[in-house]
Structure 1
Amino acid sequence: MQDFSDFFQECDNGPRLNELTGFFSDTAAGKSGFPSRKPAVDMRLLPNDDLLHRLIQLHSRRQGFFDQHYHASIPYRLEEECRMAHALLRYSQMRSGDLQFYSLGTAEGTMARVVSEMSGGKIQSLACSPNEENYKCFMAFGEPLGASFFLGPFHRLTKEHLRSTADLAHFADGFDIILEDTTFQMYSPNRLAQIEFVSQHLKPGGILLFLEKFRAADPLDYQAREEQKNLGFKAHYFGADEIARKTELVLNTMHECEVSLTEMAEAIYAQFDHCLVTWNSGNFYGLAASNDGDNLGRYLAAMMQPAIPVEYVYEPRPYCDLASWMRRRRLPT
């Protein structure tokens, strides 16, 4: 068995569990960082689909405090979450048995809960967060069918813990799909070890999804996209003082744990044969990786087109193969 003790210590010492603890606790409790109005899906960007519409309605009813802060902070992230949930539901319908889905570090785990509810428990989901406030939001609507919650940081959910915990033991054989949602960037820039650790939980041929904020090759490009996000989107939900407060309190610290797309690709391809871009919003990108190209293709085929105005989308665009993009651009890290 591989020794991850150094990795565990690195995570324990990371910003998420130390200097950022107060921010995450207060935001998850609704004490600070709450938007002036609740974000709502822009239906003009999405197709007329009955399953999608029902999903959006349930997702809106299940959101907690942190979700509303999060979706008010990243342009069209709410639309993307609903798009991903819709793809998971469609993908699960192609399968004969249950689908095990792990959404790590995603606050109150709204998307995980919603897909389990809507699938009637066919999607067995697990969400995790180290904040008790997020767990309370997760349980606010009663114990959901097919959805579980691990109260702790992602690196403390080991294979041994899954095997020894009665209500999580059905996940011990691994997950079909895992989503890392802006989690790694809160701990360290060590994507190689982070991906290696999480990949242990993936079944052979499974799919690992990432959604992260990445450093740009040119710092001026990075800053321009940040200003676009703040002035063109966040200003609809937060005042200038609150945007500046979060930048000082969180984003400057988080930036030290961000990596470039090139660095991320190198860490992904150390574990996986295939990786494609699935979404982009300014400095944020969604990626999907797997060692089974056919299985990855089935998931991608279940996805609708990204629901985001074109002015927020940069290179590499969906559905660009990340390895081909690296060879073509030869970008420095």
Structure 2
Amino acid sequence: MRGLDDFLAECDHGPRINELAGFFAATAAGKSGMPVRRPLADARLLPADELLRDLVRLHASRQGFFDQHYHGSIPYRLEEECRMAYAVLKYARLRGAPLSLYSLGTAEGTMARTLSEFSAGQILSLSCSPNPENYKSFMAYGDPPRAEFFVGPFHWLTKDALGSDRRLTKFTQGFDLILEDTTFQMYSPNRPKQIEFVTQNLKQGGIFVFVEKFRAADEGDYQRREDQKDYGFKARYFPHDEIERKKTAVLGTMFNNEVTLEEMARAVGAHFNHCIMTWNSGNFCSLAASNSKDNLDLYVSQMPGPAIPNEYVYEVSVPQNSTIAVTEGPV
């Protein structure tokens, strides 16, 4: 990777591990930012499928403090995480070979841990977070089989780091699927270099899933979606003063590191031939990209319909006026 030292220095100065470090540590420890009630997946929005139901049940039993904050903050993100986990599990089974999953920056790594436990050896996973508080939650239910956790920011997981830790050497051949869950936006808006850095650890034909908050083309649209999130959904879990406090302490900094969907499409298109939008909730979207259309189509085909009321859905596809090919999909 060209300019690696400059990129690593940029990440070292990112707000996630500097000015926002206190917020993330306190939330991960359950000392602040806790919802007034625990978010639960709405079964009415998910298929009546026994496999999915069992997966949702295990996922709910493994959640930690930060998950509760996160799932109470983004409309129907919990249902989407369960839908995504279900698709990954079915995709792994159809492939017929063990699948390696890297979930970067995803707090206590609940989805990755759940999949490793539930799949009985089919899915080997690695999660990472800068916060030891998240690692404590990850280990709260015992040392999970086939699931590993790296305490540190995503940019510390270089190829050398993977090769020098005996627990992580099994990942040196790369990952079949990588999930970036609202991580890049906590460091900088430099999506081209962030994607380039992480893609080094993706196997040929692997799938890269991005869950991010995006700037809207119209600032008024962005704010209206934020208001809907805060006062139509988030108010179910947090008092008004807590919502306002987070706007001041966190969201302004995060906004400075967000990009538009078009900018993201260009950054993704520099590395992948195919990309699809699989989910949208207000200003949040999930994209799945790969250089293997067959693998991407197989993964997406395992997804049931998005588990979210239509009034929260505004985007349906990746912008096509970029250097990216768009694969047909469910949203």
The TM-score bracket by the shorter chain reads over 0.9
2:22 pairs with 1:22:
yes
2:226 pairs with 1:191:
no
Would you say the 8 A contact 2:16–2:187 is kept in 1? yes
Equivalent runs, 1:65-144 vs 2, <5 Å: 65-144=65-144
Give the TM-score, by structure 2 length.
0.96
Name the counterpart of 1:307.
Answer: 307
Name the counterpart of 2:60.
Answer: 60
2:49 pairs with 1:49:
yes
1:83 partner amino acid: R
**Helix, strand or coil for the counterpart of 1:234?**
helix
Distance 2:322 2:100 in 1: 32
**Helix, strand or coil for the counterpart of 1:311?**
helix
Distance 1:309 1:192 in 2: 32
Equivalent runs, 1:207-286 vs 2, <5 Å: 207-286=207-286
Distance 2:3 2:300 in 1: 34
2:284 partner amino acid: F
Would you say the 8 A contact 1:213–1:258 is kept in 2? yes
Would you say the 8 A contact 1:112–1:147 is kept in 2? yes
Distance 2:30 2:269 in 1: 39
Distance 1:70 1:81 in 2: 11
Would you say the 8 A contact 2:280–2:313 is kept in 1? yes
2:137 partner amino acid: C
Give 1:121 shift. Answer: 2.1
Q: What is the CA deviation profile of residues 36-56 of structure 1, one whole-angstrom value per residue up to 9, with x for unaligned ones?
A: 000011111111100110011
Distance 2:216 2:70 in 1: 22
| Root-mean-square deviation (Å) | 1.1
Q: What is the CA deviation profile of residues 217-245 of structure 1, one whole-angstrom value per residue up to 9, with x for unaligned ones?
A: 00000000000001110000001100000
Distance 1:96 1:185 in 2: 34
Equivalent runs, 1:284-295 vs 2, <5 Å: 284-295=284-295
Would you say the 8 A contact 1:123–1:146 is kept in 2? yes
**Helix, strand or coil for the counterpart of 2:95?**
coil
Name the counterpart of 1:9.
Answer: 9
Gaps of 5+ in 1: 328-333
Give 1:326 shift. Answer: 5.7
2:152 partner amino acid: G
1:289 partner amino acid: A
Q: What is the CA deviation profile of residues 78-130 of structure 1, one whole-angstrom value per residue up to 9, with x for unaligned ones?
A: 00000000001100101222100000000000000000000012100000000
- Relative distance call for 1:94 and 1:303 in structure 2 (3 A) is same
Distance 1:325 1:251 in 2: 29
1:235 partner amino acid: A
Name the counterpart of 1:324.
Answer: 320
1:4 partner amino acid: L
Distance 2:240 2:34 in 1: 14
Equivalent runs, 1:174-185 vs 2, <5 Å: 174-185=174-185
1:119 partner amino acid: S
Distance 2:197 2:2 in 1: 9
2:237 partner amino acid: Y
**Helix, strand or coil for the counterpart of 2:6?**
helix
Give the length in aligned residue pairs: 323
Would you say the 8 A contact 1:121–1:147 is kept in 2? no
Name the counterpart of 2:327.
Answer: none
2:162 pairs with 1:162:
yes
Give 1:267 shift. Answer: 0.4
Q: Report which stretch shifted further, 278-287 or 93-102.
A: 93-102
Give 1:323 shift. Answer: 4.7
Identity of aligned residues (%): 63
Distance 2:296 2:2 in 1: 27
Give the TM-score, by structure 1 length.
0.95
Name the counterpart of 1:331.
Answer: none
Distance 1:178 1:48 in 2: 28
Would you say the 8 A contact 1:275–1:323 is kept in 2? no
Q: What is the CA deviation profile of residues 135-159 of structure 1, one whole-angstrom value per residue up to 9, with x for unaligned ones?
A: 0000000010110001000000001
